[in-house]
């Protein structure tokens, strides 16, 4: 029985700000009018097709040139039939999404097993007063634009898509920012959505470690 070869990259899993990331040219969502043969920087943009804000997110991502992929909470098939293979390639695929927390958690764990990591996380929580509170931990260029979600109102899902479209993969210190969108009348108190980016990177050794 041939052993399953496990490269160090595949074995190791996530790291955070110490990573030197493979630079990605241009915006993360390819434009529909991009050059022939060009490939989206995000292989897929994932959304939960049961949820209004995720539908708005996906619509905007698609308008910006992303290949979107709808789930209904469960990421098993997406991983088993698709990402499992894409993440074993020499250039594993980056993905992004807006989903419920369990789906984000599962993809983060699958990704970590394959040597990728979560480079951006946004928590979008509907408060008892009907606001959505947005807290985003991401590279600085993204974080500087989180405040734009405040003006998005009920269209904040589309605003998140626009934020992620600016993700370009270059190393930058991670920071965190918050925003709040106005009162909505949907009665989704407690709804907690997570925006995320999962991508590969080339690990840079830190001095002083044993390895």
Partner 1 sequence: MALPAGLTKRDLASALEEFAAAVGRQFVFTSDEHINTYRDEFGPLRGTPKDPVPSAAIAPGSVEEVQKVVRIANQYRVPLWVISCGKNWGYGGPAPRVTGSVVVDLKRMNRILEVNEQHAYALVEPGVSYFDLYRHIQERKLKLWIDGPVGGWGSVVANTVERGVGQSILGDFYNFQCGMEVVLPDGELMRTGMGAVPGSPTWQQYKWGFGPHVDGLFSHSNIGIVTKIGTWLAPEPPVFLSCQVSVPRFEDIVPLIDITRPLRQKNLLVNSAVFPPRLGRPQDPANLGGWYNKIGFYGEDKVVDLQWQHVQDAYAAIPGVEFKARRFTAPYDAGEMDAFGRTLAGIPGVGGYGYRGVFCSPILPFTGEAIWNMIHSFDRIYQEYGLRYFGEAIHIHQARALVAPATVPISLDDPKVNETAVALVRRLIVESTRQGWGVYRITTAFMDEAMAAFSFNNGALLRFHETLKDALDPNGILAPGKNGIWPSKHRGRQA
Binding site for partner 1 (CB under 8 A): 1, 3-4, 6, 8, 11-16, 18-19, 73-76, 79-80, 84, 102, 105-106, 109-110, 112-113, 206, 209-211
- Residue 20: CB atoms within 10 A of its CB come to 13
Report in angstroms the alpha-carbon separations of 162 from 3, 56, 65, 66.
43, 11, 11, 11
Is 155 or 201 the residue whose CB approaches partner 1 more closely?
A: 201
Is 30 or 54 the residue whose CB approaches partner 1 more closely?
A: 54
Q: How far is the CB of 59 from partner 1 (least distance, A)?
A: 25
How far is Cα 179 from Cα 177, in angstroms, rounded to an integer? 7
Q: How far is the CB of 74 from partner 1 (least distance, A)?
A: 4
Is 112 or 145 the residue whose CB approaches partner 1 more closely?
A: 112
Burial class (CB in 10 A: 0-12, 13-18, 19+), 66: buried
How far is Cα 168 from Cα 59, in angstroms, rounded to an integer? 20
Of 103, 128, 72, 92, the closest CA to residue 82 belongs to 92
Q: How far is the CB of 63 from partner 1 (least distance, A)?
A: 30
Is 113 or 154 the residue whose CB approaches partner 1 more closely?
A: 113
Q: What DSSP designation does 154 have?
A: G
Is 37 or 190 the residue whose CB approaches partner 1 more closely?
A: 190
C-alpha neighbours within 13 Å on the C-beta side of residue 2: 3
Question: Per the structure block, which two tokens stand in for 20?
Answer: 């030197």
Q: How far is the CB of 155 from partner 1 (least distance, A)?
A: 27
Q: How far is the CB of 176 from partner 1 (least distance, A)?
A: 12
Is 52 or 80 the residue whose CB approaches partner 1 more closely?
A: 80
Number of residues that make up the chain: 211
Q: How far is the CB of 205 from partner 1 (least distance, A)?
A: 8
């Amino acid at each position: 029985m041939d052993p399953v070869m496990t490269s160090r990259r595949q074995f190791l899993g996530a790291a955070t700000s110490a990573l030197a990331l493979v630079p990605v040219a241009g915006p993360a969502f390819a434009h529909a009018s991009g050059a022939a043969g060009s490939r989206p920087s995000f292989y897929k943009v994932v959304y939960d097709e049961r949820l209004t804000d995720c539908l708005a997110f996906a619509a905007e991502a698609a308008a910006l040139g992303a290949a979107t992929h709808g789930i209904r909470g469960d990421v098993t098939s997406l991983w088993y039939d698709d990402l499992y293979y894409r993440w074993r390639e020499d250039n594993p695929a980056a993905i992004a999404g807006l989903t419920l927390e369990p789906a984000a958690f599962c993809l983060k764990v699958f990704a970590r097993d394959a040597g990728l990591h979560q480079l951006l996380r946004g928590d979008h929580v509907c408060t008892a007063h009907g606001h959505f509170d947005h807290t985003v931990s991401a590279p600085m260029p993204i974080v500087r634009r989180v405040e734009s979600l405040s003006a998005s109102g009920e269209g904040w899902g589309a605003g998140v898509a626009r934020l992620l479209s600016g993700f370009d993969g270059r190393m930058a210190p991670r920071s965190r920012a918050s925003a709040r969108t106005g009162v909505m009348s949907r009665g989704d108190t407690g709804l907690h959505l997570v925006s995320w980016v999962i991508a590969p990177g080339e690990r840079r050794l830190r001095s002083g470690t044993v390895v």
